[in-house]
Chains A and B, each alone.
Chain A
Amino acid sequence: MSLVKDATGATSLADKNTSVRPVAHRRRGRRDNLAGYLFMSPWLAGFLLLTAGPMIASLYYAFTNYNLFAPPQWVGFDNFTAMFDDPRWQKSVQVTLKYVVIGTPLKLALALAVALLLNQSRRGQGLYRAAFYAPSLIGASVSVGFVWRAIFSDNAVVDKGLGALGLNLGGWIGDPDLILYSLVALTVWQFGAPMVIFLAGLKQVPKELYEAAAVDGAGPLRRFWNITLPMISPVLFFNVLLESIHSFQIFGSAYVVSNTFCGPADATLVYTCYLYQKGFQQSQMGFASAMAWMLLLAVALVTAVLFWSQKKWVHYEEDVK
């Protein structure tokens, strides 16, 4: 583990340096500079080696043909034009957008609903909060992927339950029209993380606002719409941003829940599944890098649009007072 040595090596250097007492302010400033760089040297090394460097390399690969065994060959925009013409790439974009657009609002709605439920002082609040949060932590594991496959299979619990309600849909896992919705259900099920953030936001809403509204005769729905929602809009904004960016990058559950590679019929071929297949199964590193950059652009676009839309619907405290 040379990396451990790296981190501790850096700190022992810092020790030698900082044990010298400051004599003048000028020297202290210089000492702070050195100490600052030494303390953040693990991060700086990681940033240069594992983030900035790879980003530049990946941008370069995106314009090359690269199969890992021969040196990269410059091909200009060929990867990008090939990508737009590729029906499977189009399919993966479609699948991912469907997943994000349906899953994120449902997840946040459920998170907010449960947060509102838990925002009353009741006995055992902490326990409830923990129990609702649990799926968020285990949901990413392969184990839960297995469970999902089993309960959404043909003739399994979900199938039978819906059958009892008169909806005979059949198993979801083998059905190209339905399997993506089992992944949506999986992400919605992991509503615990945004729920906790909503709860923290709800606690910040001043009680007087509700009291004043109640005096004015506002019903619960009106109070929710005119007080709660605007007051927690910064938290809502944060959750929308985080959850949608996160959803764009779904991989594990699509890979595990599907019986065949991200399918049947490419039905769960989410963007990163296709990227993985291109890069690591077919050794088309150039194409995969081009795909990665399109993902980055998409995420940047979503972030930019959300930040731009912020002034229309996010109210910060200054606006209220």
Chain B
Amino acid sequence: MTTVTPQVSQSADPRKRTGSIVWHVFAIAVLCVVLYPVVWVIGAAFKPGKTIVGSAQLFPTSPIMDNIKGLGDGIAGISISSFFLNSLFYAGMAVVGVVISSSLTAYAFSKIPFKGRKFFFAMMIGTLLLPYHVLLIPQYVMFQKLDLINTYVPLLAGKFLATEAFFVFLMVQFMRGLPRELDEAAKLDGCGHLRTYWSIVLPLSRPALITSAIFTFINAWNDFMGPLIYLNEPSKYTVSLGLMMFRDQQGISDYGGQIAMAMVALIPVVAFFMAFQRYLIDGMATSGLK
């Protein structure tokens, strides 16, 4: 993708070309092993339920649609689309919350020289390594007292209140890298902080915002523990919980519907990933290093 130019000179030398072929063969072989489970789920979704586990074949010789069609019946009277809409709501609102609250906080930490900034920044970094489980029970007790169990508020509160320090940190790193002259010029022109944030820093921070948005979406989509603890009415279940319901209702060894549903549930994540993987991977690398 990125290295077209050195390739030209490489292919001129036959020994280097063999090396290149060996490299590609090896890399693809490793990749086949790594991606095997992902491809397997696609094939398995079209196999008869009883043969899914026993057959070594990746794809069925005569694919059937029964598993997929069966999803139309829903689970325990709840349609599959209900789980998807719930997950979409959760993940969508999580993205909105994280992007707004984390970017505001990151602007404060990176661009406003206020008293106590270093102290609060250190506190924020400190929460990066804090196991979530320490907060789990008191948070549950608090939301229970507020009568908010079985709503999405406990799942989203943290997103709107920038408690995911990783994203604040990622945005701070990015905003610090923006040229100082820009916001100084804005200040001279009489821009206040809100104006500078909105018209200068935010548009320039797009890569960091997009990275955070995708990570948040995928994390919320995959989230299992949060919904498991806070949601108890099947009509409010997300896809993760819907999948578990499916498994419990069908019995643990009948894989037909389960695997079909698992495949369908993976589609949004895989699509999101394919569309934005460049941002994601670069964001991952920079947040880890600087």
Contact = CB atoms under 8 A, between A and B. Distances in A.
Interface string A187-216: 001000100110111000000000000000
A156 B277 CA distance: 32
Highest count of chain B CB atoms <10 Å: which of A39, A51, A143, A156: A143
Interface stretch (B21-29, B61-69, B74-82): B21-29
Contact of B136 (A11, A40, A150, A279): A279
A195 to B, nearest CB: 10
Nearest to B120: A40
B101 A46 contact: yes
A207 to B, nearest CB: 13
A252 to B, nearest CB: 4
Interface stretch (A100-108, A129-137, A222-230, A311-319): A129-137
Contact of A7 (B104, B114, B124, B127): B104
Contact of B158 (A39, A50, A149): A50
B243 A142 contact: yes
B137 A120 contact: no
Interface string A94-120: 000000000000000000001001101
Interface stretch (A75-83, A85-93, A284-292): A284-292
Nearest to A251: B225
B53 A14 contact: no
Interface in B89-104: 93, 96-97, 100-102, 104
Tell me if A's interface is mostly helix, strand, loop or mixed: helix
B52 A32 contact: no
A217 interface: no
Interface in B158-216: 158, 160-163, 168, 190, 192-195, 197
Contacts of B249: none
B192 A15 contact: yes
B289 A18 contact: no
Contacts of B35: 131, 134-135
A18 B195 contact: yes
B150 interface: no
A293 interface: yes
B284 A117 contact: no
Contacts of A200: 285-286, 288-289
Contacts of A309: none
Contacts of B123: 47
Interface residues of A, number: 111
A19 B191 CA distance: 7
Interface residue tally of chain B, by bracket?
A: 35 or more
Contacts of B100: 4, 7, 42
Contacts of B192: 14-15, 17-20, 35
A51 B107 CA distance: 21
A61 B137 contact: yes
22 contacts: A6-B161, A14-B192, A15-B194, A42-B161, A50-B135, A58-B137, A123-B24, A130-B278, A135-B37, A137-B222, A138-B222, A138-B270, A146-B243, A150-B52, A189-B37, A200-B285, A200-B288, A238-B288, A275-B133, A285-B141, A289-B138, A295-B131
Interface of B: 1-4, 6-7, 20, 23-24, 26-27, 30-31, 34-35, 37-38, 40-41, 44, 52-54, 56, 93, 96-97, 100-102, 104-105, 107-109, 112-117, 120, 123-124, 127, 129-142, 144, 153, 156-158, 160-163, 168, 190, 192-195, 197, 218-219, 221-222, 224-225, 228-229, 239-240, 243-244, 247, 252-253, 255, 258-259, 262-263, 265-266, 269-270, 273-274, 277-278, 280-281, 284-286, 288-289
The 3 A-B residue pairs with the shortest CB-CB distance in the complex, in nearest-first order: A36-B114, A18-B192, A46-B161
Interface of A: 1, 3-4, 6-7, 10-11, 14-15, 17-21, 32-37, 39-47, 49-51, 53-55, 57-58, 61, 68, 114, 117-118, 120-135, 137-138, 140-144, 146-151, 153-157, 160, 189, 193, 196-197, 199-201, 235, 238-239, 242, 245, 248-249, 251-252, 255-256, 259, 272, 275-276, 279-280, 285, 288-289, 291-293, 295-296, 299, 303
